[in-house]
Copies of this chain bind each other. A is one copy, B any other.
């Protein structure tokens, strides 16, 4: 059987090839083409779209070129990239770098960065318009696109409030929207693209949500290990303490694994993926 590492390498390569083809214009690239490429081809791990493909495969679905699953995976990644481009803007997080490269606005200007984000969101929905199951896939992508914005709004509002008012509800309100909603949609779209029955679609949506929460909590724990004195902004450690964050990360992972029981063979690769999140802590 294929290992998790091999599966992630394979799905990542498929997605990179698809994104690369889509962002290679037929003629001389324009400034917008360069900026779109910079925004998308910056070397992400492609975890979200890989989950779309792995969920589709777990349901016995087709994930080859021009499949609904691959198009949905690309849509999820384009949506994710657009949020990163806009989050980096000076009026938002004011980040001049991302993954060791200048952020889109730092390299191409704020005006073009705003438009690149706008265009990537349109392109995400454009991928769905090419799908055989476009109507069924549209709702979950809309929900994710709406909730990531709501999460970012909540994040900005929280940052303006005194840290002593931050509590577990504040944290989950943001994490559930900003991170978990997109990962939930990634998994759900994979199931829909594979034409899975509704209970399986629901189980994989639940799996995605729990994996998303575990992923974010583990990220906070790893950040704290690396930072000299912990993060300055909102993070789980600051609100809940390390022990409670670890306990919750384990609980969300367990919930993710439980959701997989609905699948006929228990979806070993998806099971291994959920477990790998906690392994990062060891």
* Residue numbers in B under 8 Å from A123 (CB-CB): 146
User: What CA separation (Å) do A92 and B82 show in the bound complex?
Assistant: 18
User: What CA separation (Å) do A119 and B154 show in the bound complex?
Assistant: 13
Which residue from chain B places its CB closest to the CB of A144 in the assembled complex?
A: B122
Q: Would you call A157 an interface residue if the criterion is a C-beta within 8 Å of the partner chain's C-beta atoms?
A: yes
User: What CA separation (Å) do A257 and B83 show in the bound complex?
Assistant: 43
Distance between A79 CB and nearest chain B CB, rounded to angstroms: 9
* Residue numbers in B under 8 Å from A115 (CB-CB): 86, 149, 152-153, 156
Q: 20 A-B pairs, CB-CB below 8 angstroms?
A: A31-B153, A32-B153, A86-B115, A91-B109, A91-B110, A91-B114, A112-B156, A115-B153, A117-B118, A118-B118, A118-B121, A119-B146, A119-B150, A122-B145, A122-B146, A125-B138, A125-B141, A125-B142, A128-B138, A129-B139
* Residue numbers in B under 8 Å from A122 (CB-CB): 121, 142, 145-146, 149
Q: Would you call A111 an interface residue if the criterion is a C-beta within 8 Å of the partner chain's C-beta atoms?
A: yes
Which residue from chain B places its CB closest to the CB of A145 in the assembled complex?
A: B122
A:199-238 near B, CB below 8 Å: none
User: What CA separation (Å) do A183 and B111 show in the bound complex?
Assistant: 24
Q: How many copies does the complex hold?
A: 2
Count of chain A residues near B, Cβ 8 A: 38
A:221-271 near B, CB below 8 Å: none
User: What CA separation (Å) do A121 and B91 show in the bound complex?
Assistant: 19
Q: Would you call A84 an interface residue if the criterion is a C-beta within 8 Å of the partner chain's C-beta atoms?
A: no
Q: Would you call A69 an interface residue if the criterion is a C-beta within 8 Å of the partner chain's C-beta atoms?
A: no
Query: Known: A125-B145, A134-B135, A142-B129. Is A86-B31 also a contact (CB below 8 A)?
Result: no
Which residue from chain B places its CB closest to the CB of A123 in the assembled complex?
A: B146
A:125-169 near B, CB below 8 Å: 125-126, 128-129, 134-135, 138-139, 141-142, 145-146, 149-150, 152-153, 156-157
A-B CB proximity, top 4 nearest:
A91-B110, A122-B145, A129-B138, A134-B135
